């Protein structure tokens, strides 16, 4: 088949940048990486890109196709070639480009190192016996353990674009991989670190990392689990944590998000007073509903019932988020395909809820 590609070429030494177009003959089974190989072998040996395994496991071949991060060895080219579309290939975002499709992964590794990517059991002596961990316990961090460090999530991260110091989705998913490990002995210390500046609460919840991760790690979900674990441990000094707590409180009491109370509850009275002028401006334009009496939803009983149910089930912390993931997967795939009895179990022996609940 004939495959066309447009590739953004870049030379960091000269600063030259140009969009080069190639058309090559490739076998029907070719993936994007195969096509790049053909270009390099037969058409232009100066093209630079990274690769190793060619089987979606080493994480070397992250790049962008039509502006979204992909693994080049995962993208089949036949449907694209048959549609006549010529995709634009470029280097990943949020990382400095070295040459063509090769980025400097240094900042990525710095952040992975910053979350202490190894197990710290909290003691130095070597145990005499092997410590057995059940499959059920490990299921809680199964998704986060799938990360191949490709950087596709980082490439698409909204928050990193505005704050390059933000720890970012890959490092935070790695953080939960250890916070959620039953053998880890420094969970609280880790959570305190991850709640710091540029930590979990700086995520804008755009979900691009979930969407682009080629391995199903769902880093945004890992960040939500870290937030829930932090609140469970009483680490809730950050405005993000206060914000999340107010969402729950407001939904439970009135069935609505009471935005007028969000600022004082999240930022405190002093900060709220400083913003009085802004609030008055909004009120004059009719954009602030009167806070008293609070508007209560007709079916607020349902919201309260849901709150009570979750409370009774004791699914605090990451357990509640994992339960949510499981419910979503069941909605998506249906009972017969999505029963997933091997998915993370929170309460040993407890049956998963029926599909759709």
51 binding ligand FES? (CB under 6 A): yes
Compute the distance between CA of residue 169 and CA of residue 171 in angstroms, rounded to an integer.
6
Choosing among ligand FES, ligand SF4, none, which partner's interface includes residue 323 (Cβ < 5 to 8 Å by kind)?
Answer: none
Could you tell me if 175 and 194 are in contact, meaning their C-beta atoms sit under 8 angstroms apart? yes
Minimum CB distance to ligand FES smaller for 38 or for 72 = 72
Binding segment toward ligand FES, per CB under 6 A, in 65-73, 166-174, 230-238, 322-330: 65-73
Interface with ligand FES (CB under 6 A), residue from 30, 71, 103, 346: 71
Four-residue CA torsion sign, 36, 37, 42, 46: positive
Minimum CB distance to ligand SF4 smaller for 206 or for 248 = 206
Binding segment toward ligand SF4, per CB under 6 A, in 11-19, 130-138, 216-224, 306-314: 216-224
What is the H or E stretch that residue 118 is in? none
Binding segment toward ligand SF4, per CB under 6 A, in 205-213, 241-249, 330-338, 348-356: 205-213
Contacts of 38 (CB under 8 A, 6+ apart): 24, 25, 26, 30
Minimum CB distance to ligand SF4 smaller for 58 or for 283 = 58
Minimum CB distance to ligand FES smaller for 174 or for 326 = 174
Choosing among ligand FES, ligand SF4, none, which partner's interface includes residue 73 (Cβ < 5 to 8 Å by kind)?
Answer: ligand FES
94 binding ligand SF4? (CB under 6 A): no
Tokens describing residue 168: 């970012």
Tokens describing residue 137: 């316990």
Compute the distance between CA of residue 295 and CA of residue 338 in angstroms, rounded to an integer.
39
Q: Which residue has the tokens 């009135």?
A: 254
Choosing among ligand FES, ligand SF4, none, which partner's interface includes residue 54 (Cβ < 5 to 8 Å by kind)?
Answer: ligand FES
Within 221-240, the residues that bind ligand SF4 by CB under 6 A are: 223
Contacts of 103 (CB under 8 A, 6+ apart): 91, 92, 95, 96, 97, 151
Could you tell me if 136 and 345 are in contact, meaning their C-beta atoms sit under 8 angstroms apart? yes
265 binding ligand SF4? (CB under 6 A): no
Tokens describing residue 131: 């410590």
3-state DSSP assignment of residue 91: coil
Neighbours of 221 (CB within 10 A): 22
149 binding ligand SF4? (CB under 6 A): yes
Within 268-307, the residues that bind ligand SF4 by CB under 6 A are: none
Binding segment toward ligand SF4, per CB under 6 A, in 83-91, 204-212, 282-290, 334-342: 204-212
Interface residues with ligand FES (CB under 6 A) are 51-54, 56-61, 71-73
């Amino acid at each position: 088949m004939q495959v066309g590609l447009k590739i953004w070429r870049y030379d960091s030494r000269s600063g030259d940048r140009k969009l080069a177009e190639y058309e090559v003959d490739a076998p029907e089974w070719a993936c994007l990486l195969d096509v790049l190989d053909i270009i390099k072998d037969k058409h232009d040996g100066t093209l630079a890109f990274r690769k190793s395994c060619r089987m979606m496991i080493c994480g070397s071949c992250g790049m962008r196709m039509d502006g979204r991060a992909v693994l080049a060895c995962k993208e089949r080219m036949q449907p694209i070639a048959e549609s006549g579309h010529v995709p634009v290939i470029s280097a990943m975002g949020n990382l400095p480009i070295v040459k063509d499709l090769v980025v400097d992964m240094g900042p990525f590794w710095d952040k992975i190192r910053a979350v202490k990517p190894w197990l710290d059991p909290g003691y130095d002596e070597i145990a005499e016996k092997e410590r057995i961990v059940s499959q059920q316990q490990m299921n809680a961090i199964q998704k986060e353990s799938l990360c191949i460090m490709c950087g596709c999530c980082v490439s698409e991260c909204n928050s990193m674009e505005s704050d390059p110091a933000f720890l970012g989705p890959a490092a935070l998913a790695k953080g939960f991989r250890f916070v959620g490990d039953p053998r880890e002995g420094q969970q609280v210390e880790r959570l305190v670190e991850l709640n710091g500046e540029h930590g979990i609460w700086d995520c804008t919840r755009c979900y691009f990392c979930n969407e682009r991760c080629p391995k199903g790690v769902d880093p945004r979900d890992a960040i939500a689990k870290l937030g829930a674990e932090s609140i469970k441990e009483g680490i809730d000094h950050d405005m993000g944590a206060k914000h999340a707590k107010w969402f729950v409180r407001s939904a439970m009491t009135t069935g609505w998000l009471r935005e007028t109370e969000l600022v004082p509850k999240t930022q405190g009275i002093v900060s709220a007073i400083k913003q009085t002028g802004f609030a008055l401006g909004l009120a004059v334009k009719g954009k602030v509903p009167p806070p008293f009496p609070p508007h209560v939803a007709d079916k607020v009983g349902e919201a309260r019932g849901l709150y009570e149910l979750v409370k009774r089930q004791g699914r605090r912390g990451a357990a509640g988020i994992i339960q949510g993931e499981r419910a979503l997967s069941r909605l998506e795939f249906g009972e017969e395909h999505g029963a997933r009895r091997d998915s993370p179990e929170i309460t040993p022996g407890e049956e998963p809820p029926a599909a759709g609940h």
